[in-house]
Amino acid sequence: MTWSTADIPDLTGRRALVTGATSGLGYETALELLRRGADVLIAARNPRKAEQASRQLAQAAGREPVVVELDLADLTSVEKAADAVTKTYDKLDLLVNNAGVMATPYRQTVDGFELQIGTNHLGHFALTGRLLGLLLKAPDPRVVTVSSFMHKTVRGITQEDFRPPASGYRKWDAYGKSKLANLLFMLELDRRARAAGVSLLSAGAHPGYASTHLQAAGPELAGQEYMARLMGIGNRLFAQSAAAGAWPSLYAATKPDLQPGSYAGPGFFEYRGAPKLVPPTRTAQDPELAKRLWGWSIEATGVNPTLTVPR
């Protein structure tokens, strides 16, 4: 049976936080969650874009989201955002770690990490760790981490990849490693949740080839306007819509009988179409590598995720 957004159950009474929800996959994810009755927080770096997206979401869904200011490339911003959410709400049912950057020129985060691994993995690792207490107050909490089929292009990751030298930097290799890190984290969070005996469900998703601004953002940062335009043409000719690209995330976020540690992607060669469960690479499923990454991430962020149900 083919899954569609019509299969999303009523989410009334559930609270969700979606990162990177001002456009693209995050926007479409937030929109469907709102339409199904969830209370949605949209976390974004740019306040102006966030307020604009909030108005558009309210008009499209008939319900207004709450804006949370969050810059995943700044661990102090992550701490402030998590503290604000924790002080305001009594529980969080769903966290969708969606935001990301792709194939950027060499840049560093505020804390000195390579921009892609710092934003895509370390920012989300710290955010999830700081929100675990709030998540564990919900009856059936879920964390969905968005990866990419580009995780298949790399064979591993080391601690040195957090702060690589600018010389020899390869943007697509760095992106693939950040997406591998997303999956290693997702599966390790699942293992630790089950070992701790808590009800948290950790799952992953990837959008296939979806038309979003993500493809053009890297060339724009590098000042390559021609490449940004070329990416836009490719999106129009070959990519599925951002709404369709969000289906795997929504599947992972809302499917009632989803198994812990599941990874969803488009059904047609993981390129486009209705979502289904797809296999991560053997490297992504390596528990020893995941444990090492977890330790490196604690050291880098100063956040040690604790899977203990709050009293």
Q: Summarize pLDDT for 209-252 with one digit per residue, the tens.
A: 755 545 444 443 545 454 434 444 344 434 568 788 899 999 99
> What is the pLDDT, as a whole number, of residue 209?
74
> What is the pLDDT, as a whole number, of residue 211?
53
pLDDT band at residue 268, thresholds of 50, 70 and 90?
low
pLDDT band at residue 208, thresholds of 50, 70 and 90?
confident
At 88-138, the pLDDT tens digits run: 999 999 999 999 999 999 999 999 999 999 999 999 999 999 999 999 999
Q: Write out the H or E segment, with its range, that includes residue 34.
A: helix 24-35
> What is the pLDDT, as a whole number, of residue 36?
98
Percentage, residues of the chain above pLDDT 90: 82
Residue 256 has pLDDT above 90, yes or no: yes
Cα 173 off chain centre by? 19
Task: Identify whether the C-beta of residue 176 lies closer than 8 Å to the C-beta of residue 233.
Answer: no
175 assigned to active site: yes
For helices 75-88 and 124-135, the axis angle rounded to 10 degrees is 20
Give the residue carrying structure tokens 């962020």: 301
At 32-50, the pLDDT tens digits run: 999 999 999 999 999 999 9
Mean residue pLDDT of the chain comes to 90
Cα distances (Å, whole numbers) of residue 147 to 2, 61, 207, 246:
22, 26, 8, 12
Amino acid, res. 261: G
d(Cα 311, Cα 307) in Å, to the nearest integer?
A: 12
> What is the pLDDT, as a whole number, of residue 200?
98
Q: Which of 27, 175, 209, 251 is catalytic?
A: 175
Domains of the chain listed by start with CATH number? 11-300 (3.40.50.720)
Mean pLDDT score, 16-45: 97
> What is the pLDDT, as a whole number, of residue 267?
65
The pair of three-digit structure tokens given for residue 170, joined into one six-digit string: 């390869």
